[in-house]
Amino acid sequence: MAAVDQPGGGKALPIVGGTLATMLALALGLVQPWEGYSAKPYRDVIGKMTVCHGHTGLVEQRTYTTQECQKLLESDLGTAWQTVQRCIDVPMTDYQAAALTSFAFNVGPGGAGVKDGLCTLRNGSQPRIRQYANQGRWDLACAQLSLWVNAGGKPYRGLQRRRAAERAMCEGRAA
């Protein structure tokens, strides 16, 4: 099993029992249904400009083509996978990797003084999901997904359902 190149020249640990292509296909199956699709920009539940399949980077006020949306989705999934590689330093199954990639796609890496995410909390500490995963305590890491159901300080049913699907995937159950 070969290690995967990681940004900055390091090597990420391999996906155990799977491949990068399998993991990305699983992650795509988690992301697309929850992000939905809109070729025209809109404001999400926290007021962030969004387009296509949940893309929140530079969003122009115009209609996007299907091909543009597909490229943004692939790029955003790649960025989410890079976040997982940067923050999780133990081997993981393709299911665990897919669940965390979907989660990182949705919440991002986080940042001290900025926002909570997979890698860092707003208070500068590491979230428990990252701590447990890096300890190889996957039962606890996967369970943490169920706690990340708020947007803008309010719980959302859609996030509860998405996290349930991510948790099921993380635990190796059908999503």
Of 35, 116, 166, 171, the catalytic one is 35
| 44 is an active site residue | yes
Of 5, 44, 74, 89, the catalytic one is 44
3-state secondary structure at position 164: helix
| 35 is an active site residue | yes
Residues in CB range of 66: below 8 A, 6 or more apart: 39
How many angstroms separate the CA atoms of 125 and 162, rounded? 25
**Residue 132 near residue 141 (C-beta atoms within 8 A):** yes
**∠ at Cα 124 (14, 104), nearest 5°?**
40
Catalytic residue list: 35, 44
